[in-house]
Structure 1
Amino acid sequence: MEDQLPFLLAIAIITLAAVTAGLFMAWLKQPPMVGYILAGVALGPAGVGFMPQVDAVPLAAEFGVLFLLFVIGMEVSLKAFIDDLRPAVLTVAGQIIVAFGALALFGVILEWRPEQIVLMTFVVTMSSTAVALKLLDDLGELRTDLGRIVVAVMIAQDIAIVPMLVIANSFVPGASLELSTLLKVVGAFAGLALFIRIFGKGGKLPFPWQENILGRVELVTLVALLICCTAAVLTGVAGMSPAYGAFLAGLLIGKTTLRTEAIRAMEPIQGVLMVLFFVAIGLLLDVEFIIENAGLVAVFVVGTLLLKSVANIVILHRVGLPWKTAYQAGLVMGQIGEFSFVLAAVGLANQVFDPVGYKLAISVIVLSLLFSPLWTFAVRRVHESTERRIATLGYGVFHPTARDGGDMEEKTDWAVPSLDLGPVKTRRGRSGPSPRR
């Protein structure tokens, strides 16, 4: 017991610091994960040095990522995703192409190997689901057309992480992609496509022996864990990522009557493990490296945020979204996501990233997430400004009294009419016929 005390005490202190920082960030109406990362930074070598290294934390953190994909799979609405499948897939493909083109230029200058360029492309392509959903919720857009397309793109990115991990795990020094790796990627997509084709239509399926399971939290939890871990083991043995199996398991449970209770049972477990995940990321941050390479890190952080936002806006508009929706969605998805940490860790383990490249990747990811409060504020201000300008423009163009110098009190009730000239929903919730041009 005496040997275990320091470790248990360390875990207790980490948890206390992370929860306190997370609650503080939530009180500031910011993503709690930023607080978790800051807690790791404060306790790690960059801070007081209390926790220079704890081997169990990264292990629990990666377990948390597996359960995150499992919960995301349960929460996915296959019908809604199928409706937005084409623009979402095209958007993610465009993001990968743009990121690869930009990083290829940097790679030539910095003399990166092709594997480094590909893996760094994957790292910067991913956006943070947690931050994006928080932004949409703050803006009141989570259940609008804007929220729907952002969620669809986030799901497409979460699905894309599976072949990304397969490719990343195939990289070894001096080697390139093998046929077996390409077959695994094709198999992963084919399996997902087959699953969507089979289960994408129709309502909920009755879960076997549900009368003995539903309403009993401990049994629901155990059954969910059984299905998740079984699928993860099967895909892992098959040479694919265990996270892919966890995601498919989540999709399967999401189509059954067990879905609601399983999500409720699994979210606390996944939430605790994700706290450890973000704390572990904070422990990895090397402040000394950032100071010594401030220029390079700043170029990558600022360039990533700006390039991702602009590229997202253009791509979303090209796949059919109006400029306003594309503009707001592009900003919401401008940061780098939590799954990028996993890709960077795989790159280091397979020696695709040297220690310097790994520290650069981690620094850019962490700073991108730490700047998310400022990004949240900027997006909110842009959203409000855009709403006011469009409302004023709509009133001035379509309301005859405005052109004659009439009353402007109700100008904020006007919005640009939809292209189909259907009913227009006003900002106060009223609806009425589209103004005539």
Structure 2
Amino acid sequence: MHLDPLMLKLVAALLVILVVGLGLRILKQPHVVGYLLAGVILGPHGLSLVADQHAVARLGEFGVIFLLFFIGMEASPKRLIANWRVTVIGTFIQISASVGMIWIVGAMVGWSIARIVLLGFVISLSSTAVVLNYLHDSGRLRTKVGEDSIGVLLAQDLAIIPMLVVIGILGGGQPDPHTISLQAIGIVLVAGLLVWMVRSDRVRLPLGARLRADKELQVFVAVLICLGLALITGLFDLSTALGAFLAGMLVGAAKETHWVHQRLEPFRVVFVAIFFVSIGMLLDLGFVLEHWAMVVALLLTVLVTKTGINAVMFRSLGDTWRHAVLAGAVLAQIGEFSFVLAAAGARTNLITDFAYQVAISVIALSLLVSPAWIGGTLRLLKRNKARAAQRAANAQN
């Protein structure tokens, strides 16, 4: 029996994740920060223990799928549709405002319209994985902040489709009528499934009663439900994460399938960790240190600007300023799908290689500091609330 070299790398990777994770938990930081830092250490710009970034990234995509599936189980189709103003109008306002802000900057420095639109799209997206992980861990999924954030994230997932089409056209490509038709059919089917779940008094899944007594088969059925609907939406060239979310809502509506959550929880933990590790691997610390002033300035500008845009958007739709600012901070980071948009821009020469590296650095760092940004905003809001209460008490006295 010989020792497989992969075993040594796997054990070393797990040890790094464990040590970094424990260290950050002592500092009261969320697990996601530990996973991202572990990715930086393990990746090609760190110890290079993990060489195949593509394979890790593909495994990490399952983390997003399982995460959306779990969130879908706790979401209500009726409340999601009732919140359509935030989901549709709010997301449109947020994306338009992001492009508008970049337009102002681009007009001053002489950027092309194509570059302005691309970068506006890049910063407009928020991270599904980071936001949902935060909402899940903080117990805010069923709050107004949670429901508004989920609605915007789902709309952004659908908005990626026209974004990629627009970027392709600006880069000199031609839209594919077959792909567009396929996506249109998929969107209609998704809408039909949502309407059916809203109108149905009770949803029953095949073999639901029989499976309650068979714990082994429950695992396979749960994975089949999750990945099956993700596959279907993927076949229609829509987001697989969207399909997983719909699968979660379907399972949540079927009351006899409460066992699904318990069976798939270990899968969620492992694959979500792999996803964040894969994001950390993209961060080139050498590049960041060399251009740290520019990267930090851009990072702070993005966080402040996105928090402001989102806060104004939520406030304009009737939320209180306190709720609007917190929801704005929750959505302030740049999303993982922005990596896809930035790569598409680099392939079509809408941005240079240097600009692409800057974009990758800012996106990855925004994911890394997002939990601290949300926590800082929440503490600031609580402090302001306490001061307001104290002033009111002093006024009465």
* Alignment TM-score, normalising by the size of structure 2: 0.85
Greater CA radius of gyration, 1 or 2?
A: 1
Amino acid at match of 1:312: N
Distance in structure 2 (CA, Å) of the matches to 1:346 and 1:254: 36
Question: What does 1:87-166 correspond to in 2, within 5 Å?
Answer: 87-107=86-106, 109=109, 111=111, 114=114, 117-129=116-128, 131-132=130-131, 142=140, 147-165=143-161
Distance in structure 1 (CA, Å) of the matches to 2:182 and 2:156: 13
- Report deviation, 1:331: 2.6
- Structure 1 residues 52 and 234, CA gap change in structure 2 (3 angstroms): closer
Amino acid at match of 1:124: I
Distance in structure 2 (CA, Å) of the matches to 1:342 and 1:216: 41
- Asked if the contact 2:322–2:381 (Cα under 8 Å) also holds between the matched residues in 1, the reply is no
- Asked if the contact 1:127–1:334 (Cα under 8 Å) also holds between the matched residues in 2, the reply is yes
Partner of 1:435: none
- Structure 1 residues 198 and 133, CA gap change in structure 2 (3 angstroms): closer
How many residues were matched structurally?
394
- Report deviation, 1:316: 1.0
- Structure 1 residues 155 and 303, CA gap change in structure 2 (3 angstroms): same
* Alignment TM-score, normalising by the size of structure 1: 0.78
Distance in structure 1 (CA, Å) of the matches to 2:310 and 2:247: 30
1:206-227 CA distances to partner (integer Å, 9 max, x unpaired)? 2221121125333222112223
Distance in structure 2 (CA, Å) of the matches to 1:203 and 1:341: 41
- Asked if the contact 1:25–1:31 (Cα under 8 Å) also holds between the matched residues in 2, the reply is yes
Distance in structure 2 (CA, Å) of the matches to 1:225 and 1:255: 17
- Asked if the contact 2:67–2:129 (Cα under 8 Å) also holds between the matched residues in 1, the reply is no
Higher RCO, 1 vs 2 (CA within 8 Å, ≥6 residues apart): 2
- Asked if the contact 1:221–1:262 (Cα under 8 Å) also holds between the matched residues in 2, the reply is yes
Question: What does 1:179-328 correspond to in 2, within 5 Å?
Answer: 179-180=177-178, 182-328=180-326
Secondary structure at 1:321 match in 2: coil
1:309-337 CA distances to partner (integer Å, 9 max, x unpaired)? 11111111110112232233223332233
| Residue 168 of structure 1 pairs with residue 164 of structure 2 | yes
Secondary structure at 1:334 match in 2: coil
1:252-283 CA distances to partner (integer Å, 9 max, x unpaired)? 22221354322222232122112111111211
- Report deviation, 1:167: 4.3
1:113-135 CA distances to partner (integer Å, 9 max, x unpaired)? 62x54444343223345654676
- Structure 1 residues 230 and 135, CA gap change in structure 2 (3 angstroms): closer
- Structure 1 residues 393 and 272, CA gap change in structure 2 (3 angstroms): same
Distance in structure 1 (CA, Å) of the matches to 2:348 and 2:239: 15
Which runs of 5 or more structure 2 residues have no equivalent in the other structure? none
Q: Which deviates the most, 373-382 or 46-55? A: 46-55
| Residue 19 of structure 1 pairs with residue 18 of structure 2 | yes
Q: Which deviates the most, 360-369 or 97-106? A: 97-106
CA-atom RMSD, angstroms?
3.2
- Asked if the contact 1:22–1:32 (Cα under 8 Å) also holds between the matched residues in 2, the reply is yes
Distance in structure 2 (CA, Å) of the matches to 1:283 and 1:364: 14
- Asked if the contact 1:163–1:188 (Cα under 8 Å) also holds between the matched residues in 2, the reply is no
- Report deviation, 1:177: 4.1
Distance in structure 2 (CA, Å) of the matches to 1:36 and 1:26: 12
- Asked if the contact 2:315–2:321 (Cα under 8 Å) also holds between the matched residues in 1, the reply is yes
- Asked if the contact 2:230–2:240 (Cα under 8 Å) also holds between the matched residues in 1, the reply is yes
Amino acid at match of 2:368: L
Secondary structure at 2:69 match in 1: helix
Q: Percent identity?
A: 34
Amino acid at match of 2:308: V
Partner of 1:57: 56
Amino acid at match of 1:21: V
Amino acid at match of 1:303: T
- Report deviation, 1:364: 0.9
Amino acid at match of 2:153: Q
1:10-54 CA distances to partner (integer Å, 9 max, x unpaired)? 223222212332343334332211111101112223333433544
Which runs of 5 or more structure 1 residues have no equivalent in the other structure? 403-437
1:55-110 CA distances to partner (integer Å, 9 max, x unpaired)? 42122112322333333333322233233232243222221111111223445537
Distance in structure 2 (CA, Å) of the matches to 1:250 and 1:137: 14
The answer to which structure has the higher helix fraction is 2
- Structure 1 residues 345 and 266, CA gap change in structure 2 (3 angstroms): farther
- Report deviation, 1:194: 2.2
- Structure 1 residues 229 and 388, CA gap change in structure 2 (3 angstroms): closer
- Asked if the contact 1:36–1:279 (Cα under 8 Å) also holds between the matched residues in 2, the reply is yes
Q: Which deviates the most, 192-201 or 116-125? A: 116-125
Secondary structure at 1:311 match in 2: helix
